[in-house]
Structure 1
Amino acid sequence: MSLDNRKRPAGSSNSGNLVFWSSSFQRQPARVLIVEALPPWWSETCPVLCDALDNFLSLACSLDGPCRIPLLSPFVQVRGNLARLHSCVEELRSIPGEGCIRGAARGGELLQQAVLDSLQQFKQYIRHTSPRNQFSNNTSVEVTVITSQPGRGIVRHLEMGLKDADLVSLKRLLVVQIYSAGEWGQDTPSPEATHTKTDEGLMLGTEIDLQQVENTVFAMETVLKMWLQEQGGDREHLHLLLPSPLDSPIPVCVKCDMQERLISPALIPLTPILGVKTESIRDFLPVTKGSAIHSLQPQRLRAIKVLHADGVCESVLYGLPLVIRPTTCWQLDWDEMESNHNLFHALCHTLRSRDLFLLLQVEPIQRPTAGGLGVCSHYVLQPSQSLSLLLKPVSSRELLLPCSLPVSTQDPSPDAMQILQGCLTQLAEEFVLNPLSLSSNLYQQLRSRGLFSQPRFPYRLQPAAAQRDQAQPPEGPKTTASRQPRQGRQVGTNSKVRATVAPLPSSSTSFSAMRPPPAKATRLALTILSNSRGSRALAPSQQEVGDDDDSMVIQ
């Protein structure tokens, strides 16, 4: 079993919980990146590509959770290997601007040879890898070729040069053409990635794609971040069941795939100035330098932009929302509290009436450390119908994953529309979502787990019949002299320790009224039993308490 299937500590550095990571990334292919340094384009593409590689590898090497990129040529482990991969980027950056390849024709031949060499190296790696290696299940490789030459010509050249090669281990071949702003439209079939596949060219099952991107750091990061997404495709991820529009017991099933929109901040082992978690108020309290004690100074969020509500995509928001309301701090005087209440009311009314949101940025209380500029978090503030606001964390550029979903310009087929409209008419309609009408059976599940699971400590609980027999022994009723005294007991080595907790009487609110009533009836209590080895267990014992005494007695 690989390390990713076992328990791993959570990515957040201030969390001590253990979680079980999903195994949905087990079939990720190994990666090979081939870069063409061909003049005169290399002088323009080199700094952009190297900056994108530095940004991407700093993220990919630091991610916790399931392994998204198991191997990167020269087939080294990506996670925790940033120093070695960074040295490769620096070596690529050191190539002079005039490049290291002379002539476009010569460059095409070298790209073909580089693909064949990478496949041969991967076969040798698989052959000499131990079966117990955590990456031994990855028997396929994906090759990405980055070039500045016309993309269609490179694709045709690779098709002709690789048609007789052994491409069993090659899962996909991606050709990325980098173009400048003035070159857009030249040899460009479409803005999206173009898939090409010939019958007599590559072997059956091998894909070759052409993707054309602009010569910018963000565009290159988007190409590289596609490696972080699941590349399985063996089966569908989700079955959406809709009620049948006819009198058929079989529901209508819509099969779907799921895709991550962003990298969860919990997978990054870094504590930003404002925590990535929003589970509690303590996550928003700033931490003093060198101490885990929260500062008394409140956190400051500065509004930097006004957003239109219809321009905010919910897919870039993450974490749990927090309700923001005007403060009721007792340390403020009445005039300041009333003025603050009026300002808060005006803010809610203005945002709600104009259908606006606010984009907030953390204002650090302390100066950033020498190791960097500090991590800056962003939040979206949304108005509500009540006198309150809703605070949600929003993802930044570093965490976003590629998500280019097509926009449909055609109407769906009439048959599909009739089926789906018939399915939806079978469902009840509500104008307001009421969470009180939703039940997840959480109470029942927690109760069953708590009652039938093994106890954490070795408690020895006797059956109810045994308790009744113990309460009334066959020799006769228990005399008063056999009762253990309530006060004045000496605690010895094998003695029993009793602690009594009495509740407040319902008719009294004074602490002085808490005193045990006279003993009248018998009640079973839990007794700590000690043996010679020093181990202890809890067992029922008999203790007389009053009729109206609801205290729990532990002896």
Structure 2
Amino acid sequence: MHRGHVVSQGPLSLAHVWQQPPRLLIVDAACPSWARVCSNLCEALQNFFSLACSLEGPTRVPLFSMYVVQSRHECILPFVQVKGNFVRLQACISELRLVPREGICQQKSCLNLAVQDGLQQFKQHSRHTMVSAAPSSPSVEITVLTCQPGKDIVKQLEGELQNTDMVSLRRLQVTEISKGDGPESVDSLWPSEAPAEELSTEECSILGTDIELQVIENDTVSIESFFKAWLQDSGTDQEHLHLLLPSRCFSSFSSARSEPMCLKCDLQERLLNPALLPGTAESPGGDFSYQMAPQSAASRYRLRVIKALESSGVCESVTYGLPFIIRPTSCWQLDWDELETNQQRFHALCHSLQRNNLCLRYRATTVTLITTLGR
């Protein structure tokens, strides 16, 4: 996918971006390969939470809960706040290490029961929160982590959750930890020898499912990187950024007009600000604003193109600040035709800039950006 890299020449605030959902992790330990995954998973979780619990600024993972599924489903951690709660989360990880590693093969999985129970627990937690404190996010993201073939789990959940109330579910994702290389005696216990792969768009349409499938490697770094993606904003309630370009750039898409063409985009951090890490001398309130604020139409960035520059002519010494990635928006409030048109125009711009080795310079009221698209 084409995407743009943004480097700021001044302070850039993401105050309106951070609206992270609660997370529910369901660990499928009911397979023979659980013994090969357990240590890597626990180490990755410990590394992730040691970072997530101590980051300054707005909470990037507000609530977390965990279920383990073997012969039955069990909640080993109800929804708890993540920030400043490392001791509680570490105790949960220690309990996960004690789950029997021989695995339990069974005809019928309890994953759907864990999803249903998790949704019910979240509803109860939300009602309690609304009474005792400020309301939290109205929906939860559920991740099913499994060693079994991901396609089979997706189809299974698709059939078993048809009559389940999904109002409070923001997203359901199945993450398959691939087998990798190992002894034949272990591999032979797998119910399917087909290589791990993701569901195609056509297959998802046939299944009529909104369940996402992702495959990751069975090593600590890969699993930890998967969890660290939770620290990035994934909200689709509104687009984050409007790029305003001369309409002649898209003459093939629309009739001639004087007003600028608007590309609606989302921002994604490329790096975590080191000032957010514990023990750093720099305060997060210095060059980068991390104050939480409600999203509104007025809070979107509007950047107008100044000129196109040759990429080779831009000296890195004139750019500073944290880099961001620009993507075409996936805001659910836009209709499908507008999303598709916006994405086509974004990709066309990226292709043109990449082919001509150009980058774009934009200007806003408080920030000037140099954007390299299509790299």
Normalization by structure 1: what TM-score? Answer: 0.43
Q: Trace 1:294-443 onto structure 2 (pairs within 5 A).
A: none
Equivalent pairs, count:
280
- Aligned equivalents of 1:393, 1:43: Cα separation in 2: 46
Structure 1 residue 173, shift from structure 2 partner? 0.8
- Would the aligned equivalents of 1:193 and 1:210 in 2 still touch at CA under 8 Å? no
Which of 240, 248, 251 aligns to 2:243? It is 240
Larger radius of gyration: 1
CA distance in 2, matches of 1:241, 1:79: 38
2:39 counterpart residue number: 47
Partner of residue 95, structure 2: 91
Deviations 1:86-115 (A, max 9, x none): 10001101223213xx21433x2x111111
Deviations 1:422-444 (A, max 9, x none): x99xxxxx99x9xxxx99899xx
2:336 alignment partner in structure 1: none
Please name the residue that 2:29 is paired with: 37
Contact 2:274 2:280 in 1 (8 A): no
Paired residue secondary structure (1:181): coil
Task: Tell me how far apart the structure 1 counterparts of residues 364 and 236 of structure 2 sit (CA, whole Å).
Answer: 34
Matched, 1:253 2:262: yes
Contact 2:268-2:324 within 8 A present in 1 as well: no
Equivalent position SS for 1:51: helix
Counterpart-to-counterpart distance in 1, 2:226 and 2:366 = 43
Percent identity between the two aligned chains: 43
Amino acid paired to 1:122 = F
Alignment of 1:391-540 (within 5 A): none
Is the counterpart of residue 188 in structure 1 residue 196 in structure 2? yes
Following superposition, the deviation at residue 133 of structure 1 comes to 2.1
The question of whether the paired residues in 2 share the 8 Å contact of 1:226 and 1:402 is answered with no
Report SS of the residue matched to 2:268. coil
1:7-48 residue CA offsets vs partner (Å, 9 max, x unmatched): xxxxxxxxxxxx99814223x221111111134211110000
Q: Which runs of 5+ in 1 are unaligned?
A: 1-18, 280-383, 406-411, 425-429, 443-555
> Equivalents in 2 of 1:222, 1:164: separation in Å?
34
Q: Specify which structure has the bigger relative contact order, considering alpha-carbon pairs within 8 angstroms and separated by 6 or more residues.
A: 2
Secondary structure in 1 aligned to 2:137? coil
Go from structure 1 to structure 2 and tell me whether the alpha carbon gap of 1:416 and 1:269 turns closer, same or farther (over 3 Å shift): closer
Q: Give 2:124's aligned residue.
A: 124
SS at match of 1:129: helix
Residue 151 of structure 1: how far off its partner (Å): 0.8
Greater mean deviation of Cα atoms: 43-52 or 193-202: 193-202
Q: Give 1:82's match in structure 2, choosing from 80, 86, 91.
A: 86
Corresponding residue number in structure 2 for 1:213: 216
Deviation, 1:253, is 1.5
Amino acid at match of 2:80: V
Q: 1:257 to 1:402 in 2, by over 3 A?
A: closer
Does structure 2 conserve the Cα–Cα contact (< 8 Å) formed by 1:163 and 1:201?
A: no
Normalising by structure 2, we get a TM-score of 0.63
Q: Is the Cα contact below 8 Å between 2:130 and 2:136 reproduced in 1?
A: no
User: Where in structure 2 are there 5+ consecutive unaligned residues?
Assistant: 1-11, 66-77, 182-186, 287-313, 329-340, 368-375
Instruction: Return the match for 1:103 from 100, 105, 109.
Output: 105
**CA 1:40/1:403 → structure 2, altered by over 3 Å: closer, same or farther?**
farther
- 1:186 deviates by 2.7
Q: Which residue of 1 aligns with 2:299?
A: none
1:166-181 equivalences under 5 Å are 166-181=165-180
The separation in 1 between residues aligned to 2:113 and 2:91, in whole angstroms, is 24
CA distance in 2 between counterparts of 1:250 and 1:394 reads 31
Q: Is the 8 A contact 1:38 1:103 kept in 2?
A: yes
Asked if structure 1 preserves the Cα contact closer than 8 Å seen for 2:244 and 2:262, the reply is yes
Match of 1:22 among 15, 20, 43: 15
Note the C-alpha offset of 1:54: 0.3
- The residue type paired with residue 210 of structure 1 is L
Q: Secondary structure at the residue paired with 2:269?
A: coil
Task: State the secondary structure of the residue aligned to 2:119.
Answer: helix
The alignment's C-alpha RMSD in Å is: 4.5
